[in-house]
């Protein structure tokens, strides 16, 4: 277990060293600050739009961070050759993958928490409040979504180059977020094999919309029912575990040739 944490720690240090997190934080603060300076028709008391855009930014930035940070981990180790001393140590490939995933996921979760706090702070400056319990639920479900996204990026990066893995993860996750919830509507107009195909996609692709509690948070809703919340978390955990197993299967027997990497 300590070996997994050691690998995770390296991912943390790398992200802190590269300063992406600070840049994203400054960018978000800048956008929200600009939004704060606009008072529509001089009317006070409207904070819904700040909450909405704050959470939207938190989602977009954490999504981008999760994909980029995770997709580069393995290809980076391979191209720099640091994978050889790592695997020469008493470290299994499963531990290596788990450590990488854990490091990326936790660092992105920490960044997401900072984004949420920033959004809540800016909304509070306009008199907008989040329900604290609902906000905690929203954040935890957001973490679950990031776990799935990170695991998918890690899976792609086991066999693909960094850019290809990141692009594929973006395409897969964004299209799943947009396309999957629309399938029940699309099925109204499709029949036969097309409808069957849509249904297969509906159950096979990740339902990332389950982790998105923004509507409840922005419109001041009470916390979500516990049962639905737990079910969504279990779904996220199962999906993440499945993707990590796939990543391990793809990576466990991968052969490295120093010459082709350099």
Q: Do the Cβ atoms of 138 and 153 come closer than 8 Å? A: no
Least distance between other proteins and beta carbon 88 (Å) = 45
Binding segment for other proteins (CB under 8 A), chosen from 61-69, 91-99, 149-157, 230-238, is 230-238
Q: Looking only at residues 169 through 198 of this chain, which bind other proteins when binding is defined by CB under 8 A?
A: 181-182, 184-185, 187-188
**Span 100-139, contacts to other proteins by CB under 8 A:** none
Consecutive H or E run containing 86? helix 83-88
Based on the shown chain and the rule CB under 8 A, indicate whether residue 33 belongs to the binding site for other proteins. Answer: no
36 binds other proteins (CB under 8 A): no
Report helix, strand or coil for 39. coil
Report the alpha-carbon distance of residue 141 to residue 250 in Å, rounded: 28
Residue partners of 15: CB distance under 8 A and separation at least 6: 21, 69, 107
Q: Does 228 bind other proteins (CB under 8 A)?
A: yes
Q: Is 38 in the site for other proteins (CB under 8 A)?
A: yes
**What value, to the nearest 5°, has the Cα angle with vertex 252 and ends 246 and 256?**
125
Of the candidate residues 85, 90, 192, 225, the single one contacting other proteins (CB under 8 A): 225
Distance between CA atoms of residues 61 and 66, nearest Å: 8
With binding defined as CB under 8 A, does residue 46 bind other proteins? yes
**In this structure, what token pair is assigned to residue 138?**
């929203």
> Given candidates 71, 97, 232, 244, which one binds other proteins under the rule CB under 8 A?
232
Helices (H) and strands (E) in the chain, counts: 12, 0
Binding status of residue 262 toward other proteins by CB under 8 A: no
| Residues of this chain that bind other proteins (CB under 8 A) | 38, 40-49, 52, 141, 181-182, 184-185, 187-188, 202, 207, 209-210, 212-213, 215-216, 218-219, 221, 224-225, 227-229, 231-232, 235
């Amino acid at each position: 277990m300590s070996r997994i944490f050691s690998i995770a720690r390296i991912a943390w240090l790398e992200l802190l060293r590269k300063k992406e997190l600070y840049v994203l934080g400054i960018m978000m603060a800048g956008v929200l600050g600009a939004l704060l300076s606009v008072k529509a028709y001089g009317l006070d008391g409207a904070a819904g739009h700040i909450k909405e855009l704050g959470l939207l930014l938190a989602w977009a930035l954490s999504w981008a961070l999760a994909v980029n940070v995770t997709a580069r981990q393995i290809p980076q180790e391979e191209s720099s050759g640091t994978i050889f001393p790592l695997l020469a140590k008493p470290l299994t490939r499963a531990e290596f993958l788990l450590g990488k995933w854990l490091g990326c996921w936790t660092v992105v979760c920490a960044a997401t928490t900072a984004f949420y706090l920033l959004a809540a702070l800016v909304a509070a400056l306009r008199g907008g409040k989040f329900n604290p319990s609902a906000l905690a639920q929203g954040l935890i479900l957001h973490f679950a979504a990031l776990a799935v996204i990170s695991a998918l990026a890690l899976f792609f990066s086991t066999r693909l180059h960094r850019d290809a893995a990141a692009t594929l993860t973006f395409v897969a996750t964004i299209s799943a977020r947009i396309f999957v919830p629309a399938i029940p509507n699309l099925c109204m107009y499709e029949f036969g094999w097309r409808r069957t195909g849509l249904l297969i996609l509906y159950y096979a692709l990740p339902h990332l919309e389950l982790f998105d509690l923004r509507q409840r948070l922005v419109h001041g809703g009470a916390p979500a029912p516990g049962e639905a919340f737990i079910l969504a978390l279990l779904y996220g955990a199962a999906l993440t575990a499945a993707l990590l197993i796939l990543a391990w299967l793809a990576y466990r027997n991968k052969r490295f040739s120093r010459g082709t990497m350099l």
